[in-house]
């Protein structure tokens, strides 16, 4: 076989192309460089380099409509009983020194499951009531019931828990 001769223009063009590609791979000397620590071998006379200072992770901002730490509202129990005539658990409570519209959630739990109801809180002159919040039950034999009454308004919340028996 006879060797083919490549024209000089092709060889020169290829060299220019390769040189251009290689120059794109070399760093730009005018661009700022991040400092690279020098590599050195440890010696007995070298001192340890300081550790980087840890930074606190950024915290998520809390939307302004949500109070991240609502004020505690003390809930005082007035009455918790099984009403045989209504076949229901009835709980009443007062939130002293609090006059606000809110809600009262009564949740009851027995061996037969969990049930609950929400009722409006009733503001008065100097207190707010969760008055006669009632959850119907199938029969007295479902008891005893544990309950939680939770009061909530725009700026505060509180709860009280206990037990009601059908006797």
Q: Tell me the average confidence (pLDDT) per consecutive run of 10 residues in the chain, 167 residues long.
A: 46 44 48 50 50 51 47 95 95 95 96 95 96 93 93 96 91
User: In the chain, what are the domain boundaries?
Assistant: 71-164
* pLDDT score recorded for residue 21: 42
In CATH, the number for domain 71-164 is 2.60.40.10
Q: Is the pTM of this model over 0.85?
A: no
Query: Is residue 128 within 8 Å of residue 151, measured between CB atoms?
Result: yes
Among candidate residues 115, 103, 83, the one with its CA nearest the CA of residue 154? 103
List pLDDT tens digits, range 36-60: 554 544 444 455 555 555 555 554 4
Output the CA–CA distances (angstroms, integers) from residue 149 to 49, 50, 72, 140, 152, in the order listed: 59, 56, 14, 20, 10
């Amino acid at each position: 076989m006879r060797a083919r001769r490549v024209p000089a223009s092709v060889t020169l063009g290829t060299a220019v192309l390769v040189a251009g590609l290689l120059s794109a791979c070399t760093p730009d000397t005018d661009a700022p460089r991040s400092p690279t620590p020098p590599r050195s071998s440890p010696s007995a006379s070298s001192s340890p380099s300081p550790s980087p200072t840890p930074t606190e992770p950024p915290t998520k901002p809390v939307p302004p409509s949500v109070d991240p730490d609502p004020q505690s509202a003390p809930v005082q129990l007035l009455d918790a009983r099984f009403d045989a005539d209504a076949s229901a658990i009835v709980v009443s409570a007062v939130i002293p020194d609090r006059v606000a519209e809110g809600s009262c959630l009564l949740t009851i739990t027995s061996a037969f499951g969990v049930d609950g109801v929400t009722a409006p809180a009733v503001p008065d002159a100097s207190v707010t009531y969760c008055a006669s919040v009632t959850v119907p039950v199938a029969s007295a034999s479902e008891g005893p019931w544990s309950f939680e009454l939770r009061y909530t308004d725009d700026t505060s919340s509180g709860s009280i828990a206990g037990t009601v028996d059908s006797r």
